[in-house]
A = this chain, B = another copy of it.
Amino acid sequence: MADDSCGIARGLDLLGERWTGLVLRDVLRGFERFSDLQRELGVAPDVLSDRLAKLTRAGVVSKVEYREPGHRPRPKYVATESGIRLGLVLAALNDWADEFRPVPTGRPNALRYVEGPTGQAVHLAPVDDAGRVVDDARVELQVLR
């Protein structure tokens, strides 16, 4: 990892690498087996193997041995709490791309998050420390220097 002291660097150590984010996205979408992920993404098997190992080591997904009747035991990869919450960041990235990098043929989409009890859709939005939602247009970067 480049620089531990910055959380962005620690996050990008995972997402800022080819395939890793897409692998997580598809695990969250329910593609949990090696062959499904490989087919869905079109990634080389050695690379997929490496990425799943990295995500597993980071605690973002976990490797679960299981068996379906009539099949031998094999692993599947499921998102942990940490992975689910990182998926929310991916969803925010998705919202950003829809707004600032739209594509004409754009179709909806990837991950849907909901509030458990009510089933209401949920997105990441800017909120101040008192818990009030802030309009996008008022959010600015604080310049530090």
Q: Which residues of A contact B (CB under 8 A)?
A: 2, 4-12, 15-22, 25, 28-30, 58-60, 79, 82, 84-101, 103, 105-107, 109-131, 133-134, 136, 138-145
Contact = CB atoms under 8 A, between A and B. Distances in A.
Nearest to A103: B4
Contact of A58 (B101, B107, B141): B101
Given A99-B85, A139-B115, A128 B122 contact: yes
Contacts of A112: 141-142, 144
Contact of A139 (B6, B11, B19, B122): B122
A110 B22 contact: no
Q: How many copies does the complex hold?
A: 2
Nearest to A16: B21
Contacts of A92: 88-89, 92, 124
A94 B139 contact: no
A140 B124 contact: no
A118 to B, nearest CB: 8
A28 to B, nearest CB: 6
B142 A6 contact: no
B82 A89 contact: no
A128 B121 contact: yes
A100 to B, nearest CB: 4
